[in-house]
Amino acid sequence: MTTALSNTIFILGGARSGKSRFAENLVVATGLDRHYLATGRAWDEEMQARIEQHRADRGPSWTTHEEPLDLVGKLAAIDGDGRIVLVDCLTLWVTNLMMEERDMAAEFAGLVDFVGQEKARLVFVSNEVGLGIVPDNRMARDFRDHAGRLHQMIAAKAAEVYFIAAGLPLKMKG
């Protein structure tokens, strides 16, 4: 069993549950140098508009980094004392890895190995996708399974884990 690490917070919830807002508020409350690491890609105009809205909502007090694939490399590059890094979100990262046919086990292991070695505080946000019906196609089932495995790995290492529903946090660990 992996021991919890004090620098890591993991926030799960469904789509539009309020998890990103909750995470951003946690980050702001720390008073640390804020970094936002976005994993999303603008595959279409609607997603581009969402990305632009998120940037505008955060405002200029955040340093934004965008990295759809090399999450560990980007985290290592921006790591530092006195910083807090919000990674939003792990499920988009899983999607990107799947689309690029990356080695999921190796990518997950790299991230899990990084957690605990960082100097900055880390806050991970992800969509809980395992509470609904079983997906009707192989790719969607693989996605759900990959996300579920990654969530278990990050939750095991996190000092705090929250589940967000209807904007309300349920503290599950810590």
Torsion, CA 121, CA 122, CA 123, CA 124, rounded to 10: -170
- Catalytic choice (54, 65, 146, 151): 54
* Other CB atoms within 10 Å distance of the CB of residue 31: 9
Instruction: Based on the residue annotation, tell me whether 54 is a catalytic residue of this protein.
Output: yes
Could you tell me the two tokens for 44?
Answer: 């279409």
DSSP states of 71-132 as a string? HHHHHHHH--TTEEEEEE-HHHHHHHHHHTT--HHHHHHHHHHHTTT-SSEEEEEEE--SSS
User: In the numeric block, which tokens belong to residue 29?
Assistant: 């409350």
Distance CA 12, CA 99 (A): 22
Residue 117 and residue 171: Cα distance in Å, rounded? 24
Known catalytic residues are 54
